[in-house]
Amino acid sequence: MQIESVFRVTQVPDVKALVLVAHERAKAFGARVVRPVRALGTRLSAVIRQPWFFPAQVAVVFGLLWLHQHGYLQVPVTVCDWVRLGK
């Protein structure tokens, strides 16, 4: 008994062609995703290089710190919440 007579004759897929197709799809998808991200990064870098950016950043951080210290950013935890959390 020969091995060829036991198994059906099937076409073996061309792995190299499948890999090339998958590679082209991945490159096209990557180009579609990377282009807007790169544009956003370029725009962000241009904004960060401006001389007004650091003082504005400091003002925002200090504003958030003040809001936090005065309780405007606090999330109230009631007694029921503590019971549910197991305290």
More reliable by pLDDT, 81 or 43: 43
pLDDT tier, 17 (very low <50, low <70, confident <90, very high otherwise):
confident
Which pTM does this prediction carry?
0.47
Residue range 28-67, pLDDT digits in tens: 888 888 888 889 999 999 999 999 999 999 999 999 999 9
pLDDT tier, 5 (very low <50, low <70, confident <90, very high otherwise):
low
pLDDT of 9 strictly over 80: no
Check: CB of residue 74 under 8 Å from CB of residue 68. Answer: yes
DSSP string, the chain: --HHHHSPP-PPP-HHHHHHHHHHHHHHHHHHHHHHHHHHHHHHHHHHTSTTHHHHHHHHHHHHHHHHHTTSS-----HHHHHHHT-
